[in-house]
Amino acid sequence: MGRTAVAGAEQKQNGTAHGLDTAKLIEIYRLMYLSRRTDDREIILKHQQKIFFQISTAGHEALQVAAALAMKPGYDWFYPYYRDRALCLALGQTVEDQFLQSVGAATDPSSGGRQMPSHWSSAALHIVSTSSSTATQCLQAVGCAEAGRYFAHHPEAAERGDGRDYRQFRDVGFHDDEVTLACIGEGSTSQGEFWEAISIASNLRLPMVFLIEDNGYAISVPVEVNTPGGNISRVVSGFPNFYFAEVDGTDPIASYEAMTQAVAWCRAGNGPAFVHGHVTRPYMHSFSDDDKLYRPKSEREAETLRDPISKFQMVLLREGILDADAITRLEREVDEEVRHAAERALRAPLPEATAAAILRHQYSEDFDPTRADLQTETAAQAGAPERTMADLINACLRDEMRRDARIVVFGEDVADCSHDEFLREGLVKGKGGVFKLTAGLQTEFGPDRSYNTALAEAAIVGRAVGMATRGVKPVGEIQFFDYIWPAMHQFRNEMSVMRWRSNGGFASPAVIRVPIGGYLTGGSIYHSQCGESLFTHTPGMRVVMPSNALDANGLLRTALRCDDPVLFLEHKRLYRETWGRAAYPGPEYMIPFGKAKRMREGKHLTIVTYGAVVPRALQAAQRAQRELGVETEILDLRTLNPYDWEAIAESVRKTSRVILAYEDTLSWGYGAEIAARIADELFHDLDAPVKRVAAMDTFVAYQPLLEDVILPQPGHLFQAIAELAKH
């Protein structure tokens, strides 16, 4: 089990007893006061309309400074949240750094003017880019801690598999005793991602500290409404392998003692730690809030008695560490430092407001997966047997795992067997995924590189973000696209935007594989869904959807070598179809993203499609030629973001008629955007209206008779061809 400690202001205020000498105690006060005065200056700037948002750390300073002093910047890893100004100052950020973000300056080192104030980031200090989303950082911190452990156990993974230099991998380092810190407000402990994170950390005994900053409120929601029993420490106390401490977070000495013991517990390999600090919130939640609307005056006045700045000032005076004149001099020096830093930040140049500058770092500049020269000839031997899409996906994973020791594969049921000894002793054959696409990976590469996760989709993707940020190449699997939605937060607000929001300081080039789609004869609502347009609508995310075995192999290899996050959609119906089989193309075969494949030549009309609709479009085209004499050209997009507009435009100019065919629902589906662009840019090349063929605007039913009507079939496509050919 774990260990529990309680520390508070009743302990003797003797700094040297806890390794804090006089100089360190003075430095603690300076950092606390520096943070508070930075908050105050930001509030003034907001009143003057020189900045556009403000949220303060006030009341949290003692706990945060203590946490920073107990850890090692640039050695340990830090996942703060938006209140953690004092933590970041104590780790090494400057006041000017923070003001540059406040004004949105081009030289803002955290984001280049892309993020709100208090969204911290520093690659050098290992402060990983912060978002506004609550609790998402906890799962990423889990992935970071896992990656650190992986590198420590597999130093060969630190060597570039392909010789390329990745920004987020430079100077990443790894240490046997490093610790990852995840900070979170008490209100955010209601989020499921928090509970998933502490569950995984407990199970894996990860070296990470969860720091709970409890100021009694989640905006206007008091802790007794937010947390069962009003105390998160009591709620989590049953988790094994944890060091637990509950502390007066307005007392920097007690907080330092709790944090040093927590960090020591983690460094020793005992497992994670959970430090619950009770702090105050003397200022409003943010500049946009008014706490007088929900907090009585008596409560606010009582809270001022616990203010960490005034409390610790009295300690310094009482213990004779500083006298009143010395404190005044220190505070005047800090006031001047803050004033000058703000003035310099206000004079800093603003970001370049051009499309090129705005889009910089949305995707990697180190590796362009759309380059035409990525395509290589297949190395398939004459007479080699044809293999299914499932076979060639598995073959690609094996090739790349042999080539690059950074690659780890994980998800629900992806391992051969969670009990590795059962495999080694020959007691079981092994599973390797519900569709068997990862079969044999654990057997060949071991349980560190292919393993099962808990049934928690957000955790799979969130951990992948943290791993990829750290330099591991994670290949996560969501078992069915229908259950991807708990992970949407991590896809949309974290993985896709990590590089852009940190202005290139961090990135998360993970690959997430997802079986998708219907045509299953009984798949029903929760095993037949599409929804790819929700991800192609996400800037920074590459989305791939092959229709055949050879393309799946070549595109997956490109995805695994890509430096961007990739959602790799694999149609379940196509896994073992006779149509689309191919010989193994060799371990270097790649297909560039954004290059459509002409599946059929034609001159009368064009069908633009992808996924499982491709073979159905081919059937319809063959019938149309046989019965109507219509020659239909078919383009398989293969990648949905980016997509091959040049190939579409060339074909439409040739045929003057076009059908957009896709499996998702007709309204607001993927084809609507391409249809709109064709109408906008190719209107004068058209001899007929742009037509769409897609699923009905409903979910897929269980009864096959209903499924056949709901999803686009060859007959639907033939009818559309016939109608369009009349124009």
Tell me how far the alpha carbon of residue 523 is from its chain's centroid: 30
Under a CB-based contact definition with an 8 Å cutoff, are residues 661 and 694 in contact? yes
| Two tokens, residue 15 | 């700094």
Q: What is the pLDDT of residue 454?
A: 94
Structure confidence by residue, pLDDT tens digits, 448-490: 999 999 999 999 999 999 999 999 999 999 999 999 999 999 9
Structure confidence by residue, pLDDT tens digits, 216-251: 888 888 899 999 999 999 999 999 999 999 999 999
Q: What ranges in 56-172 are assigned the alpha helix state H? A: 61-69, 85-91, 95-103, 136-153
Q: How far apart are CA 339 and CA 598, in angstroms?
A: 63
Q: How far apart are CA 665 and CA 723, in angstroms?
A: 21
Q: Is 248 helix (H, G, I), strand (E, B) or coil?
A: strand
∠ Cα 687 689 693 (to 5°):
130
Q: Tell me what the mean pLDDT of segment 139-151 comes to.
A: 96
Confidence class for position 10, pLDDT limits 50, 70, 90: very low
Q: DSSP labels for 350-387?
A: PPP-SHHHHHTTSS-SS--TT-GGG-----PPTTPPEE
Helices 549-561 and 389-403: crossing angle in degrees, nearest 10, is: 30
Q: How far apart are CA 649 and CA 657, in angstroms?
A: 11
Q: Tell me what the mean pLDDT of segment 30-42 comes to.
A: 97
Confidence class for position 168, pLDDT limits 50, 70, 90: very low
Q: What is the pLDDT of residue 155?
A: 86
Under a CB-based contact definition with an 8 Å cutoff, are residues 85 and 35 in contact? yes
Q: DSSP labels for 277-339?
A: EE----S-SSTT--GGGTS-HHHHHHHHTT-HHHHHHHHHHHTTSS-HHHHHHHHHHHHHHHH
Q: Tell me what the mean pLDDT of segment 432-441 comes to.
A: 95
Q: What is the pLDDT of residue 18?
A: 65
Structure confidence by residue, pLDDT tens digits, 673-725: 999 999 999 999 999 999 999 999 999 999 999 999 999 999 999 999 999 99
Fill in the DSSP letter of residue 127: B
Q: What is the pLDDT of residue 171?
A: 46
Q: Is 122 helix (H, G, I), strand (E, B) or coil?
A: strand
Structure confidence by residue, pLDDT tens digits, 334-344: 999 999 999 99
Cis before residue 282, ω within 30 degrees of 0?
no
From the list 406, 414, 524, the residue with the least C-alpha distance to 471 is 406
From the list 435, 411, 363, the residue with the least C-alpha distance to 167 is 363
Q: What is the pLDDT of residue 264?
A: 98
Q: How far apart are CA 205 and CA 339, in angstroms?
A: 45
Confidence class for position 14, pLDDT limits 50, 70, 90: very low
Instruction: Kindly tell me the burial class for residue 380, based on how many C-beta atoms sit within 10 Å of its own C-beta (0-12, 13-18, 19 or more).
Output: middle
Q: Tell me what the mean pLDDT of segment 609-628 comes to.
A: 98
172 versus 575: the higher-pLDDT residue is 575
Q: What is the pLDDT of residue 6?
A: 57
Sign of CA dihedral 261, 265, 266, 267: positive
Q: What is the pLDDT of residue 681?
A: 97
Structure confidence by residue, pLDDT tens digits, 77-123: 999 999 999 999 999 999 999 999 999 999 999 999 999 999 999 99
From the list 39, 18, 28, the residue with the least C-alpha distance to 83 is 39
* Residues marked as catalytic: 527
Confidence class for position 12, pLDDT limits 50, 70, 90: very low
Q: Over 90: is that where the pLDDT of 400 sits?
A: yes
Q: What is the pLDDT of residue 205?
A: 97
Q: Is pTM beyond 0.75 here?
A: yes
| Two tokens, residue 327 | 């404190």
Q: Tell me what the mean pLDDT of segment 542-556 comes to.
A: 98
Structure confidence by residue, pLDDT tens digits, 630-666: 999 999 999 999 999 999 999 999 999 999 999 999 9
Q: Tell me what the mean pLDDT of segment 530-553 comes to.
A: 97
From the list 4, 1, 181, 150, the residue with the least C-alpha distance to 75 is 181
Q: What is the pLDDT of residue 161?
A: 42
Cα separations in angstroms, 289 against 122, 165, 543: 29, 45, 39
Where do the domains of the chain lie, and which CATH numbers do they carry? 3-154+179-239+246-301+311-347 (3.40.50.970), 372-412+453-583 (3.40.50.970), 597-725 (3.40.50.920)
Q: What is the pLDDT of residue 301?
A: 87
Q: What is the pLDDT of residue 101?
A: 97
Under a CB-based contact definition with an 8 Å cutoff, are residues 608 and 660 in contact? yes
Structure confidence by residue, pLDDT tens digits, 45-60: 999 999 999 999 999 9
Backbone region of residue 394 per phi and psi (left: phi > 0; alpha: psi in -120 to 50; beta: other values): alpha
Q: What is the pLDDT of residue 287?
A: 80
Tell me how far the alpha carbon of residue 578 is from its chain's centroid: 36
Fill in the DSSP letter of residue 493: I
User: Across the chain, what does the average pLDDT equal?
Assistant: 93
